[in-house]
Amino acid sequence: MMRVVVIVLLGVHLAYAGTHSLKYFYTGASGDIDFPEFTAVGLVDDGQFMYFDSNIKKAVPKTEWIRQNEGADYWDRETQVLIGSRQVFKDNIQIAKERFNQSKGAHTVQIMYGCEWDDQTGETDGFCQYGYDGEDFLSLDLKEMRWITPVPQGVPTVHKWNNDRADLEGRKHYFSTVCIEWLKKYLEYGKSSLQKTVSPQVFLLQKDPSSPVTCHATGFYPSGVTISWMKNGQEHHEDVDLGELLPNEDGTFQRTSTIRVTPDEWKKNEFICVVEHQGKTVTEKKIRAKNAPDDSSSQRSSFWQWLWNFKSQ
């Protein structure tokens, strides 16, 4: 019989203590696609609080705390900013297609930007990265105050943007000051919900004795969780696949780790799934592995002016 033990590490620290982040993800797409041409998502501490796409043409709140604290003027500004960003992304896709010598097919340009703040040390950081068709295209090195690219097709844009020192200084100010101010404001808005700590539920799932075993942690908040495996008391990393962190509809998160071993190996060894959340160890948790969890239950606008196109002239 397969011997599997679950150790759940729970925590007592508030989510509000530590490093916090404000992130935005913009995605522009072209070609024969069945989803919006442009989408934008905003997240605080990895939890979504706003959404926009080119079909609905409207920025909308996704949490009660932002809905209660920002009125119509805020959402009108966000909407206008994102409507303008859509055209920039359309232009950038066309420019990138020309540089990569592409004329057909579906293509995407993405940007992730935002900032982080450590409320213990006061340290801050910012980031801005562009991608094309899922690969790195451009990134901003704030320490060196310059743009860099891993591909030759990004060089003309890097030269253009690095020659504009006023723009670089403006971006530095945005990421070190403006973005941090908005992050702190959002954290204050959502203090009651963002401070919560919700422990994960852990499920061990296996379709049949020859299938991989999945350790599924779900329903936890904040998002920081570690899932690992031990074999006979030793850390075990072989044939282990860690899944992506995914949001649940109730604002909590889920993540899985799958291990592949033969039934005979299971019988001869003791495997342990270790789930760590917020740093404290609790070992008296009953294993529940009969059924899969029900996942369904469970001045920023100033940045828009820097969503330049990729042209070198």
Overall size of the chain counted in residues: 313
- Contact of 137 with 128, CB cutoff 8 Å: no
Q: Do 189 and 214 lie in a common domain?
A: no
Tell me, what's the pLDDT at 298?
Answer: 38
Q: Do 51 and 138 lie in a common domain?
A: yes
Q: Do 146 and 169 lie in a common domain?
A: yes
Q: pLDDT tens digits for 125-149?
A: 999 999 999 999 999 999 999 999 9
Note whether residue 303 is domain-resident: no
DSSP state letters, 60-121: EE-SHHHHHH--HHHHHHHHHHHHHHHHHHHHHHHHHHHHTT--SS-EEEEEEEEEEEETTT
Q: Quote the number of domains for the chain.
A: 2
Tell me, what's the pLDDT at 308?
Answer: 63
Tell me, what's the pLDDT at 114?
Answer: 97
User: Which amino acid makes up residue 172?
Assistant: K
Note whether residue 291 is domain-resident: no
Tell me, what's the pLDDT at 305?
Answer: 52
Tell me, what's the pLDDT at 216?
Answer: 86
Phi-psi region of 297 (alpha: psi -120 to 50; beta: other; left: phi over 0): alpha
Strand order in the sheet with 146-148: 60-61, 47-53, 38-44, 19-30, 107-118, 124-132, 135-141, 146-148
CATH of the domain at 242: 2.60.40.10
Note whether residue 305 is domain-resident: no
Which residues span the domain enclosing 246? Answer: 4-14+197-282
Q: Do 155 and 250 lie in a common domain?
A: no
Q: Do 113 and 224 lie in a common domain?
A: no
> 22: number of CA atoms within 13 Å, CB side?
24
Q: Do 212 and 186 lie in a common domain?
A: no
CATH of the domain at 160: 3.30.500.10
Residue ranges of the chain with per-residue pLDDT less than 70: 1-17, 195, 280-313
Q: Is 227 exposed, middle or buried (0-12, 13-18, 19+ CB in 10 A)?
A: buried
Q: Do 160 and 243 lie in a common domain?
A: no
Note whether residue 55 is domain-resident: yes
Q: Are strands 146-148 and 201-205 parallel, antiparallel or unpaired?
A: unpaired
- Contact of 204 with 212, CB cutoff 8 Å: no
Query: Within 10 A of 121 (CB to CB), how many other CB atoms are there?
Result: 9
